[in-house]
């Protein structure tokens, strides 16, 4: 069945460091891909999305490119801030369905 | 504007009790989803409604779990005879009618602890 695999955390970085969180997927067809973020004490929020191959989603300095050839959707940010500390979830939604399939989440901790 | 709301935010139940969790979706959103998030894991799909019709309940873990959305707005997830393995955060999400790419908006969740 469809699945999402993301790198295990926690990821610990200093402020202004470069961030990469790897995400790969297995799915039939052409899914839409998402990154959701969960800040401490808050609900899941959509960070960015891409709906077809080679699309780049971006928001708040974060970017991810939908790579069909490698079935990947890695999250990157050039310079992280303490306020980026959160749990990040990669997810997919199949074209034919609507439920989101999530990875296990990656905890990011940024220190000043 | 108002987002998805859920109540209660926290629920402690003794094993064997029945619980009911409520979700108020964003006004006008046609689709409503329930997910279960165990500690340290990603959310897992439970069930999906389009208006009042429950179109997919394949994720419900047992027949102790029941969900309804009788008027196509508010939804209730009911768990009968709760077990310790039911302890988790239950998330509700709603989505408009713009197709599969449209964003799902999540509520804050109900944290259920079964003792």
Give the β-pairing of B105-106 and B75-79. Answer: unpaired
Judged by CB atoms closer than 8 Å, whether chains meet at A43 and B107 is answered as yes
B106, closest residue in chain A (CA to CA)? A44
Per-residue confidence (pLDDT) for residue B1, from 0 to 100? 54
pLDDT in tens, A4-63: 999 888 999 999 999 999 999 999 888 999 999 999 888 899 999 998 899 999 999 999
Q: Which two tokens stand for residue A13?
A: 């970085």
Question: Do residues B23 and B48 lie in contact, with contact meaning Cβ atoms separated by under 8 Å?
Answer: no
**B111 has pLDDT over 80:** yes
Characterize A87-112 residue by residue with b for buried, 16 or more Cβ atoms within 10 angstroms of its Cβ, and e for exposed.
bbbbbbbbbebbbbbbbbbbebebee
Cα atoms in the Cβ-side hemisphere of radius 13 Å centred on A88? 31
**Among A53, A99, A104, the residue to mutate for chain B (most B Cβ within 10 A):** A99
pLDDT in tens, B17-74: 999 999 999 999 999 999 999 998 999 999 999 999 999 999 999 999 999 999 999 9
Judged by CB atoms closer than 8 Å, whether chains meet at A100 and B100 is answered as no
φ, ψ at A78 (rounded to 5°)? -70, -30
A61 Ramachandran zone, left/alpha/beta (phi>0; psi -120 to 50)? left
Judged by CB atoms closer than 8 Å, whether chains meet at B43 and A44 is answered as yes
Give the end-to-end CA distance of chain A in Å, rounded to a whole number: 41
Judged by CB atoms closer than 8 Å, whether chains meet at A105 and B42 is answered as yes
Residues of A in contact with B93 (CB under 8 A): 44, 100
* Chain B nearest C-alpha distance from A97 (Å): 7
């Amino acid at each position: 069945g469809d699945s999402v695999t993301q790198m295990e955390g926690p990821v610990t970085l200093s402020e202004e460091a470069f961030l990469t969180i790897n995400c790969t997927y297995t799915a039939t067809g052409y899914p839409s891909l998402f990154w959701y973020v969960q800040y401490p004490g808050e609900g899941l929020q959509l960070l960015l999305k891409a709906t077809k191959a080679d699309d780049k989603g971006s928001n708040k300095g974060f970017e991810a490119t939908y790579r069909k050839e490698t079935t990947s959707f890695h999250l990157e940010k050039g310079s992280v801030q303490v306020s980026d500390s959160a749990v990040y979830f990669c997810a997919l939604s199949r074209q034919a369905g609507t439920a989101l399939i999530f990875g296990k989440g990656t905890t990011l901790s940024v220190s000043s | 504007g108002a987002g998805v709301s859920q109540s209660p935010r926290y629920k402690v139940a003794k094993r064997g009790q029945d619980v009911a969790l409520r979700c108020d979706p964003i006004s006008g959103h046609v689709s409503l989803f329930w997910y279960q998030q165990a500690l340290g894991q990603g959310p897992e799909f439970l069930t999906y409604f389009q208006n009042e019709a429950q179109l997919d309940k394949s994720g419900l873990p047992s027949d102790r779990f029941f969900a309804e959305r009788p008027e196509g707005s508010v939804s209730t997830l009911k768990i009968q005879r709760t077990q310790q393995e039911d302890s988790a955060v239950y998330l509700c999400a709603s989505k408009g009618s713009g197709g599969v790419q449209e964003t799902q908006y999540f509520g804050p969740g109900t944290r259920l602890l079964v003792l």
